[in-house]
Amino acid sequence: MTATRLVHTADALQWLREHPLADDAAIVTSLPDAVEFSHKDTERWRTWFLDAAELVLRSTPAKSACVFFQTDVKCSGVWIDKAFLVQQAAAAAGCALLWHKVVCRAPAGQATFGRPGYAHLLCFSRELRDPIEAAVADVLPELGGQAWARGMGVDAARMAVAWLRDRAGAHTIVAPFCGVGTALAVANELGMAAIGIERNANRAEQARTLQLDH
C-alpha cells in the first residue's frame, strides 16, 4: 500500500455517512470539545458527542477497529469524562472495548487545571478481539510532540496507528476530525495510506502537508 494522503475539507460525520469504508481501513479520531462550537452549550455538545461517537463506531468495518484519543475537561467545577461518553456510544453501536490506555500529559504528582494530567486512548471493534498474550503497556509515559494544542501527541498516535496496522490488519487510516493531521502523518511514516476529514479549512490545509519532526 502506497503511503498516500488525502484530506477532505468537509463535515466529518456527513462524509462518513456518504463514504462506506473499505474492509482494510481503520479509524483514529479525536472528537472536538464544546469550546469549538459556537453555541458553547455543554449539554447540547454532550448529546452531539454521543451521537458522533456512535456514528464513527458504526462506520468502522466490523473486523477492523477504531481508536479514540480524548482528554477530559472540567466545566463549572465538574469533570466531563469523555472515556465514559465514548463507552456509552460503543454500547449503543454494539462495539466491544479492546483496550483502554492512559497517556500521561504531565508528570505524576503535578497538579493540572482545566484538563487532567492524562488523556485516554480507547480501542473498539465489533468483531476483532485482542488476545491476552498480545498485551502492550496500559500507561504511556509521554504524549509526544503536538503540532496543535488540541491535537493528538505523536507518541500516542504512533502507538495507536501501529497497533491498527499490526493487530487489525489496517492498510488505510481514516481520521475524522483530523485537525492538523498528526495521525495522517504517522500513518504515512508507517507506510500506510491516510484519509483525513476536517471542516476547518486552515487546519485541513496544514493536514495535507504536515511532516513529523524527528
Euclidean distance between CA atoms 165 and 171, whole angstroms: 6
> Over 17-59, what HEC string results?
HHCCCCCCEEEEECCCCHHHCCCCCHHHHHHHHHHHHHHHHHH
Q: Are the C-beta atoms of 9 and 204 separated by less than 8 Å?
A: yes
Could you give phi then psi for residue 27, rounded to 5 degrees?
-115, 135
Residue 94 Rama label (left phi>0; alpha psi -120 to 50; beta): left
Mean pLDDT (whole number) for 102-129: 94
- Give residue-wise pLDDT tens across range 162-208: 999 999 999 999 999 999 999 999 999 999 999 999 999 999 999 99
pLDDT band at residue 105 using 50, 70 and 90 as cut-offs: very high
Q: Which is more confident, 6 or 2?
A: 6
Instruction: Locate the domains of the chain by residue range.
Output: 5-209
pLDDT (mean) for 83-97 = 98
Backbone angles phi, psi at 149, to 5 degrees: -60, -30
How far is residue 173's CA from residue 17's CA, in Å, rounded to a whole number?
17
Average pLDDT over every residue of 49-69: 98
Cell representation of residue 52: 458522533
C-alpha cell belonging to residue 6: 488525502
Quote the percentage of the chain above a pLDDT of 70.
99
- Grid cell 500507561 in the structure block, residue: 139
Q: Which region among 22-26, 40-44, 49-53, 154-158 has the lowest average model confidence (pLDDT)?
A: 40-44
Residues in contact with 201: Cβ distance below 8 Å, sequence separation at least 6, in sequence order: 9
Residue 145 has pLDDT above 90, yes or no: yes
14: left (phi over 0), alpha (psi -120 to 50) or beta: alpha
Measured CA to CA, the distance from residue 98 to residue 112 in angstroms comes to 29
pLDDT band at 54 (very low <50, low <70, confident <90, very high): very high
- Calculate the average pLDDT of the chain: 95
Query: Structure pTM?
Result: 0.95
pLDDT on residue 168 = 97
Fold category of 5-209 in CATH: Rossmann fold (3.40.50)
Do you know the residue count of the chain? 214
DSSP E strand stretches across the chain: 5-8, 25-29, 66-70, 73-75, 78-80, 96-104, 118-125, 139-140, 172-176, 193-197
Average pLDDT of the segment spanning 1-11: 90
